[in-house]
Amino acid sequence: MRDLLVVGAGTAGVSAALWARSLHLDVEILEAATEPGGQLLHVHFHPREIPGLLAGDGRAIAGTYARQLAESGIPVRYGARAGALELRETPGVALADGSHATARSLLIASGARRRRLDVPGERELEDRGVSYSATRDRERLAGRRVVVVGGGDGAFENALLLIGAGCEVTLLARGGVRARREFRERLADSPRARVLEHTQVVAVLGEDAVRAVRILDPAGEREMPCEGVVIKLGVVPNTEWCREQLAHDAEGYLQVDARFATSAPGVWAAGDVVRPLRASVPVAAGHGALAAVAIRAAVRGACSGRTRARRGAERGVKQRAARAENSGEAPRARGRPDPAGASPAPRARAATSEAPACCRPSRAPRRHRSDPRRRCADRCAGPRS
């Protein structure tokens, strides 16, 4: 049985697996996709917050992950979609294809996915005007009227990118905007941008391409003409397969302690599934590394405890056999009566027990013993030995 099973080959899962291998744990990764990377596959720019990384977008970083896993000899089962968490003597995962995988410990690093509008026309017109990344589709949308859906930093950043590409941008926020002040101020200063709060998209309209969106605001429902829609609504944690058996918050993010342990024994979680303070590549990598260290301590601690118990039992057998050999008796198992019914002879009292108490060797640690040259005040005339 393997020491560790990692669910997810995103940044957190790959980091944990590499650290686990360096800590001499037998590890395997389960990944639902056909390649590692997770959300990195949707990052179409170079993440500048990662130290020591050569220039490249998210897919290039994911390619580096694949090479590192191969060079480290870490097995990865691609296309292995987790279906349910199994909590038995050892944790495991029931896969969507009906197979099962178990290990001494389990790390959930299944990451998150883009939140969709889930309205008519969204999926039908994806890549035909509906986009989830202005970085990737900036040239395709350049000079057009574009609706950006969302009220956070990601939505405002995408809106600013589109303005730079000559687009007329309308940003729609279902509630109030949550973006940083600097983003809000920059967008407010642009003559080609406007922000509509408390406005909801209820449908994307068009046949072969986007021609408009149907919106619902305090004034009612109406159509807004546009040629592109960029959706930036954040992410959803991929925890539907395990959240019923683990403590989680209202949005499905798993709750963990300072060592990334979940509410179930033998199960840890790291990365975007635990609602990090900031969802980013460096944070996910750190989560995975720290979780691997905690798992190694738990797995090796359990193994050490079993080893100590076994060695203690073996030592006891040898000691009883030695005592029986010295007394001329046949060795027998602990707790079983002597077949002959005879009791073992009492041990000879140690010679030191006949000596005065003041002259007996001390059993206290050396730092607590008195000066060996000190004379006994009451019964001895010579120095203590």
Q: Does domain 4-115+235-305 have CATH number 3.30.420.10?
A: no
Q: In the chain, what are the domain boundaries?
A: 4-115+235-305, 130-231
Position 33 scores a pLDDT of 96
Asked if 116 and 138 touch (Cβ cutoff 8 Å), the reply is no
Q: Note the pLDDT tens digit of each residue in 45-54.
A: 888 888 887 7
Rg (the chain; Cα; Å): 34
Give strand pairing partners of 236.
Answer: 113
Question: Which residue matches tokens 């807004």?
Answer: 224
At 312, is the secondary structure helix, strand, or coil?
Answer: helix
Q: Does domain 130-231 have CATH number 2.60.40.10?
A: no
Asked if 273 and 111 touch (Cβ cutoff 8 Å), the reply is yes
Position 315 scores a pLDDT of 73
Position 309 scores a pLDDT of 63
> pTM for this structure?
0.75
Which residue, 246, 240, 274, 281, is CA-closest to 258?
274
Asked if 318 and 324 touch (Cβ cutoff 8 Å), the reply is no
Which residues of the chain are under the pLDDT cut of 70? 302-312, 328-385
Position 384 scores a pLDDT of 45
Same CATH topology for 4-115+235-305 and 130-231: the answer is: yes
What ranges make up the beta strands (E) of the chain? 4-7, 27-31, 76-78, 82-87, 91-95, 100-102, 105-108, 112-114, 130-131, 145-149, 168-173, 193-197, 200-206, 210-217, 220-225, 228-231, 235-237, 267-269
Please give the single-letter amino acid code of residue 101: A
Position 225 scores a pLDDT of 97
Asked if 36 and 53 touch (Cβ cutoff 8 Å), the reply is no
